Structure 1
Amino acid sequence: MRWLEMVIDVPAQAAEAAAAAVLEVVDAGFAWEERGGTVRIRAYLPEEGFEERYRRLGERWRRVRQVFPAVGPWAPAVRARAVDEWAEAWKAHFRPLPVGRRLLVVPSWERHRVDPGPRIPLVLDPGMAFGTGQHASTRLALELLEEELEGQPEPRPVLDVGTGSGILAIAAALLGARPVLAVDIDPGAVRVAQDNASANGVDDRVRVAAGTAAAVRRQPPPGWAVHLPAAVTVANITAAVLAETLDDLVHLTRPGGALVLSGLVSEATDTRDLEERCRARGLEIRRRRRAEGWEAWRLAVPN
């Protein structure tokens, strides 16, 4: 399969909003690189269906320009990438990363060269899936997940919606959750997450399936129903998608449980709209973490 790489530079002050717009459409690969007063965004889409997604990106980009006029038009440099080239491009931006108080995210190609010390190594090969821990939205979700699972007397079931590389699901398993149910709309991400779970020795605790939160609510995959609703549900997507699927996420989380939401651009209209929807549902934000213009919430699901 061939992939198309899109590269575009944006002013640093608009980078978070631009990244959020791209991530509403791109669910396979994304990276950014700070370059002084600008940020270079790289996004990857499969060649199949590229034109439609490119058009949708243009629509979202116009919304960004309404808020940040300094952002140029949607005219990224586009070039074809073979799968192995895509993987090498990722490696250039992916280094061991301490997250929270206990985790160390380690690229699979460096696992034998890194001493994790007292931290728990989380070995990861992103493949064609989003989620390496390098992006603030993933780090914030990992930190809130760690806080929620810390000091629990017994393992609790966790649901990860939009698992991508499986990083959040695997972290939950390494931090003591059991079982961990992970779902992603992209079958390629499902394969990547399964491989990463196996590489971390938690494939007996992490179950991965293709689908959406709505599909899981309607008809859970075989063997999942007994563990639902989950004690903790985590979703690192975008505010707009989270707002659309909020009812499903709440339904899939047990009363008194926790909902961890990330991928939220601070001060963005979509984020404010999501917060209003959460309040209307009786969800209380117990913890709010921010970094690099992004934020994540840990909410209490009412009894």
Structure 2
Amino acid sequence: MSLWEIKVPLAVEQVDATDDLLLELGDERWSVLHDVLIPAAWIVGVFEAKEDAEASWAALAGAVAGAGEPELNEMPDEAWRDAYKLHFKPWQCGRLHWVPVWERETYALPEGDVAIWLDPGMAFGTGNHETTRLCCERLVEWAKTASADARVIDAGCGSGILAISAARLGWREVRAFDNDPEVLSVCEENAALNGLADAITFYEGDLITGWSGGPGDLVMANILGHVLMQFVPQLTGAVAPGGLLVLSGILATEVDQVQAAFTQAVPEWRVEQRIMGEWADVALWRP
């Protein structure tokens, strides 16, 4: 099977804005590559058909400032996977390691640590984006004291990477929902890759309908700041007494606004924010 890569030169000063645009669109076929040494940057998309690549760029081009002329290349599946190996390296957060699947047989995992196996060919991502890392750090820290019977909910789960991380850390009740039914099959494949097909309940839902299974002791919502502020009652209402709400996908420039929206609604909850690069999270502990 061949894949089609479309690679478009991008003005370096537009890297952050383009990265934000792609995050908002939620189309995991596109990514931004930035070589800080040259310096140079590209927006890169990978598609199963040439026609899909051309149509997707035609729809995206008008929203991307500072883009050059696209270059379209056919790539055998093996060549694409080998190219990923140059960029994807293992990384660690506490006792949780995120490791490319091609290192499964050789990666030395310290005793007591656990691994999530990543397959870039399955739209899994690397977890290296700041918004995901912020959530993961909260998750690992919470794991130090939380009961294995605690209930975890991943709202707007995308490729399922946070829900799968929670299940790998040992929680027996992990639920994850997304309003895009197409991503749920990807979530299930990613869970199966990690031997967790039966450990997570994936289902279609949004920030209004997704809470039918009851409240969570840990609720993670890595979405976008302006969306989070539209659903303050639903998100805070989904947290069980004594539970933790982790909000991410928030630009550092808007984190104070997001925090204020939630603390006004639940002033008795303890709150904390952190900033990583241009992104931030807000964590709220319910009494």
Confirm or deny that 1:207 pairs with 2:201: yes
* 1:114 has 2:141 as partner: no
Structure with max Cα Rg = 2
Q: C-alpha separation between the residues in 2 aligned to 1:274 and 1:281?
A: 11
From 135, 138, 152, the counterpart of 2:132: 138
Offset at residue 234 of structure 1 (A): 0.8
Compute the displacement of 1:8 (Å): 4.8
Once the two structures are superposed, residues 7-54 of structure 1 have per-residue CA deviations (whole angstroms, 9 ceiling, x without a partner) of 452436x64443122211133234333312554443568977996996
User: Structure 2 stretches of 5 or more lacking a match?
Assistant: none
Alignment length (residue pairs) = 279
Q: What is the SS of the residue equivalent to 1:27?
A: coil
1:173 to 1:35, Cα distance in 2 relative to 1, 3 A:
same
Matched, 1:195 2:189: yes
Tell me: higher relative CO, structure 1 or 2? Use CA pairs within 8 A at least 6 residues apart: 1
Deviations 1:46-74 (A, max 9, x none): 97799699657845x5xxxxxxxxxx446
Q: Which runs of 5+ in 1 are unaligned?
A: 62-71
Is residue 282 of structure 1 aligned with residue 270 of structure 2?
no
Q: Matches of 2:135 and 2:129 in 1, distance apart?
A: 10
- Counting only pairs closer than 5 Å after superposition, residues 1-303 of structure 1 correspond to structure 2 as 5=6, 7-11=8-12, 15-36=15-36, 37-43=39-45, 58=62, 72-73=65-66, 77=70, 79=72, 84=77, 88=81, 90-98=84-92, 100-118=93-111, 119-129=113-123, 131-217=125-211, 220=212, 225=213, 228-267=214-253, 269=254, 271-282=255-266, 284=269, 286-301=271-286, 303=287
- The answer (yes or no) to whether the contact 1:126–1:165 under 8 Å persists in 2 is no
Q: Give the superposed CA RMSD.
A: 3.4
Contact 1:29–1:130 (CA under 8 A) maintained in structure 2: no
Give, in angstroms, the shift of residue 143 of structure 1: 0.6
**What corresponds to 1:65 in structure 2?**
none
Query: Cα–Cα, structure 1 residues 77 and 126, in superposed 2: closer, same or farther, change >3 Å?
Result: same
Q: In 2, are the aligned partners of 1:124 and 1:167 still within 8 Å (CA)?
A: no
